Amino acid sequence: MKTYVDHIQINVCDFRSALKFYKKLFSYLGYKRVSSGSGYIGVSNGTTDFWIMQRAEKYGDKDYHRKGAGINHIAFRAASKEEIDKFAREFLQKEGVVPLYGSPRRFPEYTKGYYAVYFEGPDRIKLEVAFISNHVQKQFRLF
């Protein structure tokens, strides 16, 4: 069976505040709203959907940390290094979002041709926009 990521749900502490950030981010990245209501919004690029939802209050006693169990970060693929630099200028800088790790820059420790910008969303979920110049579709065998 061959699959792809259908959707990702991100639970946020303050929906109103997070909504402002994620609406701008997903709009810049070409996602369109597919559904919304009190405490949630769904966006899609036609392949992968994201759902931003107010977290349940009964789970509000523990803060998220990407080094703990759960998602470490979410990466979006860009078509070029120039797109990443433009994103950093036009979105991150404009929104006052400080890039992490001195990015955008090359990350040769990952693979040759890896260029990315890292940043955090309102709940400190790490996000990335990356371009891999020598990316080759690999064939994998399971087990």
pLDDT digits (tens, 9 = 90+) for 107-127: 999 989 999 999 999 989 999
Closest CA to 123 of 8, 43, 7, 14: 14
- The share of the chain scoring above pLDDT 90, in percent, equals 69
- Over residues 71-80, the mean pLDDT reads 92
Q: Domains in the chain, please, with CATH?
A: 1-55 (3.10.180.10), 72-143 (3.10.180.10)
CA distance 25 to 87: 10
Tokens 């950030």 sit at which residue? 21
**137 has pLDDT over 80:** no
Handedness of CA 111, 116, 122, 124 (dihedral sign): positive
pLDDT at 46: 95
**86 has pLDDT over 60:** yes
Whether residue 122 contacts residue 14, with contact meaning beta carbons closer than 8 Å, is answered with yes
